[in-house]
Structure 1
């Protein structure tokens, strides 16, 4: 029954979170100071590591039909109403945009005594780099007078949960990798206040909370610690996800019924056992372990994307023989009580989980162990199929990769960093638009980077982040992201707000033009382009000391996009200036860096080193003469002496193919992704083997390219007001796809006719018009369903 109740509570939790975020906020609360107070635990270091419990009991004469509250905390919280977990947050932002959640808890309340309770934690110096913070704090504000009895103030009770301490603090050293997601949790069950979230818990020995300051919202206040903003994305999804199989045991046998939640597993007293569980695919989830008994036992849960051999190489991810688990871990020490639930404070990333258990004088009963999958609640709205059944796996793995890299922000990778970088995010945002038809996380990301700007005018390379990292080329990709949004969504007022920030980025670059060469001169910060072996630290030749063709060409590409934005918003002088500047830089860069004998762009005017990246950006920036574009692309694809792009920058290789009308080559360029599947990857990796991260957002591009390149569905005018469908089937003979446009569904079913023709059907929303292009021929499209029948040119 206990397991059933947990499952039922989870269903309620998921429903309320999704529904609650759609609730409006009382306008009065958006215009200044709240009546509630930010509260904290008195007598503790306010910026140090700590886990705290806040609660308040209150009485109601009858069950309310509506009871809306607004909640936030620093660093994070999990809210309970009468023992039921109903809300988590806040969505990560910064102190100028500290988000609060809104929820209607009316359905969880009852006549008589009720309790609202929250677990609040501050990771202190151990916090994830993505976590901004000031001090430990918690706030609840009722939406109207009817709910103000739960406002946070000195009536709230609080305690320090001394059961918690951080562990797994040496992940970076053990994994020999950059890992900044925060600590693991070590929980001593003998010190845990079991039942603290229930209404009948005795909190008389708890302290009264200490007030800090009244909250204020954006645009108000004179001495703000946190400036509150309403959460602008949905609440995260949570759903049950059971392990697929036991791959290895030591000291015990484990049956399938345990994994299914049908049969508990007993670990005898004075035992030492190990159990390796395989989810069968990479995932992000809150592991939940339900135990009874086992006083004095120690359970260590270790999480990894793949096992490693003696040389710390991963190899085939499906293989475990001779391999061990090295990864992030949690420790739980039961107190011997019944139905003790261990759940870490933050989610974990894993394909494999190893349970290492040592018992003492009492047997330990594992009643159940499973994961609660979590992440941004994207729904797959698009479909894709073809005559090549193997593309189904690429489509699914690409989408899984994108999903695991999306939470309260986009993540570069869920296991190691959970940081939102412009380079990854631009690709992720396009996937979100095409596959999920959901622009909310993209909008938040655009705002996050706008809010990250440093005094020089550049955005930070990743944000939110409690450490400053500036990557100038990523600021250019942020401009490209604004351009993408403008092309795909009719939302002029939102886009216009980014124009001053765009100018700041472009001005920074313009100030660094080497006027003698008409290329970019020396540049500060980390000018990362791609983790290819030919760029030291990802930085191309000339970036630091001057005259990098790669980054100059990216700047030209961005100037051209910015010129279109400025022209659209009536800023003709700025548009003309950026177009002229792009043309001048492009002419000079081509003249100094294009080598006729090699038919390729050099990385610098010295013409000593070459890369695919320089040629890719030259094609995207319209620097290569039209008559040479096809031959330059062939050189890029077949001259192995060029520095090779990794999975990330191959996105731009495909963009260049599509731009110059050679998208048919894309299908043949899927080999790197097919190769990842051959080594057992269930998400796409950061770079070619050996890879640090087995799940990296910038490698998820097939989800977008199957629709945008193979099917050729793209906006022809800003706001997706018209559509261009220019299929690039390559060797495929049949494709079928659907995707959501803001006005409705776009659908196509196409088959090759003869050697070079095509036939099929295209359906557009009634209000949408466009054109279908096949081998140079155009067919006008209108709203509704129309037949396609086109011979080759």
Structure 2
């Protein structure tokens, strides 16, 4: 989509003449001083257009549509889609939808609910006073649009969801929606609704808005209804619902009651000690909302989404109908035919796979989100694990590709990339920036997409160049103060890392950021090898300086910082992972991991396991994945997890999210490093099966979808059988293909 579109952006007259606020800046720089009018926050606008169509116009009809911040689209009263994926105004997305089946000969209505949140957070690209809708309806063989956004549309602000002075929750992630159905426009989505009292929108051409629009490279989220697994009646009009698993979405029901009747709805990820919904959630969200009835039959339709498993409903009188209770679930499309499947005779492995898979599904929205509750943000570092797991869970590489581009686009703000993208929430984490080239290479190995690899190479080079300004005389990085130095999160799971990780970081030179930078440069060089691009190899000199500074030969371990004697788990994992450790140090490093196990956060577990794979310690990998100590996926299962947690246990972090896909490392590690199934050439043009199954591992069945087709591995306890689209290959548990 470009400026040749005939459609114009339309916006509610409240925003007419409003100049957008420039929100993008380095994290260490002050935020824009211009204040946001509070009356324009939490702004819900309904847009409508009716038109007459004849049968000849209803061949293949396509609607191109976008909105800022977000839309939900209805045609003739039927929900069609929602979006778009968030983006910066200079790289904004639109959806291209086949809507043929929703249209009829005669009168048709296009109805769009557009939400402008007005907050600066990780979830929406908002707070910049950009609001509006653009749409164009076209049909094959005709140059004139059937409909387009212009001044002929009608619009109205609905106050049913409250105003900008409402309470927010999470990290200002969303507004609490105290919905008042008395203020709703009933029937506004259908043809024939009387909108004569509505306003005409303000309209601007693309050339006046500053938007540059690109077709969204991923489909809109999948939306469907799910009935509760269990409904418990507590009183006359008091219900407790259990959906059986963590979900991302909204709760809905239908009720008829007297006008002004108030029903309280509480959502949560867990129950409290009294068996009631813990709506004041440990992840810093408060999901307690009120719904006021209109006197007609009302349907509860929250706009924003939550992360929850349980719902508690409290209302006066006997007016609730449990047959209407449902969750409106949303996530990136996941076809059962395309999805990865793993089933073992070992119940623990099944449980670990399931909680990891469900977290990946719940956190894959229009973008990857770290959690669908407190933050709802796409974090660069988290994507290392989420994206890798999602490739296997979904068999779909498009969301990984889009995520890589999202962060490439963020280099407009900083060539070293932002930690959260896209959006107006400015956060920078040095560790995460160094991981982006590794994500790019993982994507390439799975897809063979050489053109994209070539396109993204300058951004990978840009990260390397960005950090060079922190190099001292021996080549190591010191005083990387412009970005947060994370090492691991939360702080209490850094294994006593001996360096002041304040913001800005303390003076001096420490291990992890240097090891990650080495891995970053190493990966960029691998990318250039693939593309046959020449480069100067300065890694040997960097390695020499790294060993001289951090390696402690007497123990075979690596110190946290230049002048430290402390050797944390983290300080040894990355040198082992990237080949910085001398061969004679590998046994000591492995022994340290064996002793300390996961004395780290869930995020870091991915790197621990991958480092052990590089060292050939597959039995220890399996032991850690299936371990039953306090820092394990078993601990999550013992605490009732249906998706993996942000920390190993609910009490191990002060605000633990109970759905956090950065804990999904077992999915790629089991497949690649235990079962040993990998692409031998990019795009799975050749397949490698090198099983490293530990003695006693029970039979299993794995099914994944890759560009080459459906791959299955069956293990009967003695042999691993690889089933390809056109052949079957058998290998012993320790054999090679």
Q: Taking structure 1 as the reference length, what is the TM-score of the superposition?
A: 0.82
1:130 and 1:463 in contact (8 A); partners too: no
> Which of 636, 646, 654 is the matching residue for 2:609?
654
Q: Secondary structure at 2:612's aligned position in 1?
A: helix
The change in CA–CA distance for 1:169 and 1:459 in structure 2 (over 3 A counts) is farther
- Asked which structure has the greater CA Rg, the reply is 1
2:268 and 2:279 in contact (8 A); partners too: no
Q: Secondary structure at 1:80's aligned position in 2?
A: strand
1:421 and 1:463 in contact (8 A); partners too: yes
Are 2:178 and 1:181 aligned? no
User: Which residue of 2 is the match for residue 56 of structure 1?
Assistant: 49
Are 2:105 and 1:111 aligned? yes
Deviation at 1:195, TM superposition (A): 0.7
Deviation at 1:507, TM superposition (A): 1.0
Are 2:723 and 1:763 aligned? yes
Are 2:95 and 1:101 aligned? yes
> Which of 133, 151, 160 is the matching residue for 1:138?
133
User: Which residue of 2 is the match for residue 190 of structure 1?
Assistant: 182
Paired with 1:712 and 1:683, the residues of 2 have a C-alpha distance of 25
The change in CA–CA distance for 1:100 and 1:708 in structure 2 (over 3 A counts) is same
1:128 and 1:182 in contact (8 A); partners too: no
The change in CA–CA distance for 1:42 and 1:368 in structure 2 (over 3 A counts) is same
2:494 and 2:600 in contact (8 A); partners too: no
Deviation at 1:439, TM superposition (A): 0.2
> Which of 496, 511, 526 is the matching residue for 1:564?
526
The change in CA–CA distance for 1:734 and 1:110 in structure 2 (over 3 A counts) is closer
The change in CA–CA distance for 1:370 and 1:168 in structure 2 (over 3 A counts) is farther
> Which of 199, 202, 211 is the matching residue for 1:226?
211
> Which of 233, 243, 246 is the matching residue for 1:282?
246
2:622 and 2:694 in contact (8 A); partners too: yes
Paired with 2:568 and 2:111, the residues of 1 have a C-alpha distance of 57
The change in CA–CA distance for 1:741 and 1:201 in structure 2 (over 3 A counts) is closer
> Which of 354, 366, 373 is the matching residue for 2:329?
373
Deviation at 1:248, TM superposition (A): 6.7
> Which of 616, 620, 623 is the matching residue for 1:668?
623
Paired with 2:144 and 2:256, the residues of 1 have a C-alpha distance of 38
User: Which residue of 2 is the match for residue 773 of structure 1?
Assistant: none
1:167 and 1:184 in contact (8 A); partners too: no
1:529 and 1:540 in contact (8 A); partners too: no
Compute the RMSD of aligned alpha carbons: 2.8
Q: Secondary structure at 1:649's aligned position in 2?
A: helix
Query: Residue by residue, what CA displacement relative to the aligned partner does 1:186-235 show, whole Å, maximum 9, x if unpaired?
Result: 22222211111111211111122221x223xxxxx5x5422111111012
The change in CA–CA distance for 1:736 and 1:67 in structure 2 (over 3 A counts) is closer
Paired with 1:603 and 1:591, the residues of 2 have a C-alpha distance of 13
User: Which residue of 2 is the match for residue 428 of structure 1?
Assistant: 386
The change in CA–CA distance for 1:129 and 1:405 in structure 2 (over 3 A counts) is closer
> Which of 72, 78, 83 is the matching residue for 1:89?
83
User: Which residue of 2 is the match for residue 122 of structure 1?
Assistant: 116
Paired with 2:553 and 2:121, the residues of 1 have a C-alpha distance of 53
1:726-737 to 2 correspondence within 5 Å? 726-731=690-695, 732-737=697-702
User: Which residue of 2 is the match for residue 636 of structure 1?
Assistant: 593
Query: Residue by residue, what CA displacement relative to the aligned partner does 1:470-529 show, whole Å, maximum 9, x if unpaired?
Result: 111111111111111122211111111111111111012222112257454443221112
User: Which residue of 2 is the match for residue 202 of structure 1?
Assistant: 194
Paired with 1:43 and 1:170, the residues of 2 have a C-alpha distance of 22
Equivalenced residue count is: 690
Paired with 1:248 and 1:540, the residues of 2 have a C-alpha distance of 54
1:69 and 1:105 in contact (8 A); partners too: yes
The change in CA–CA distance for 1:324 and 1:475 in structure 2 (over 3 A counts) is closer
> Which of 387, 408, 428 is the matching residue for 2:366?
408
Q: Secondary structure at 2:213's aligned position in 1?
A: strand
Query: Residue by residue, what CA displacement relative to the aligned partner does 1:756-785 show, whole Å, maximum 9, x if unpaired?
Result: xxx34333455xxxxxxxxxxxxxxxxx22
Paired with 1:637 and 1:509, the residues of 2 have a C-alpha distance of 33
Deviation at 1:650, TM superposition (A): 0.9
1:658-737 to 2 correspondence within 5 Å? 658-670=613-625, 671=627, 672-689=632-649, 690=651, 691=653, 692-731=656-695, 732-737=697-702
Paired with 2:548 and 2:218, the residues of 1 have a C-alpha distance of 47
Query: Residue by residue, what CA displacement relative to the aligned partner does 1:333-387 show, whole Å, maximum 9, x if unpaired?
Result: 111012x11211122210111223247xx96767622112110012353332334
Query: Residue by residue, what CA displacement relative to the aligned partner does 1:676-707 show, whole Å, maximum 9, x if unpaired?
Result: 10011111111133141011111012122221
Paired with 1:622 and 1:506, the residues of 2 have a C-alpha distance of 19
Paired with 1:356 and 1:568, the residues of 2 have a C-alpha distance of 61
Which sections of structure 1, spanning at least 5 residues, go unmatched?
Answer: 1-29, 173-177, 216-220, 253-266, 268-273, 310-318, 754-758, 767-783
Deviation at 1:388, TM superposition (A): 2.1
Paired with 1:619 and 1:510, the residues of 2 have a C-alpha distance of 23
Q: After the TM superposition, which of the residue ranges 690-699 and 442-451 deviates more from structure 2? A: 690-699
Q: Taking structure 2 as the reference length, what is the TM-score of the superposition?
A: 0.87
Deviation at 1:725, TM superposition (A): 2.2
User: Which residue of 1 is the match for residue 313 of structure 2?
Assistant: 355
The change in CA–CA distance for 1:87 and 1:146 in structure 2 (over 3 A counts) is farther
Paired with 2:323 and 2:245, the residues of 1 have a C-alpha distance of 24
> Which of 485, 488, 505 is the matching residue for 1:527?
485
> Which of 5, 9, 12 is the matching residue for 1:41?
12
Are 2:66 and 1:72 aligned? yes
User: Which residue of 2 is the match for residue 18 of structure 1?
Assistant: none
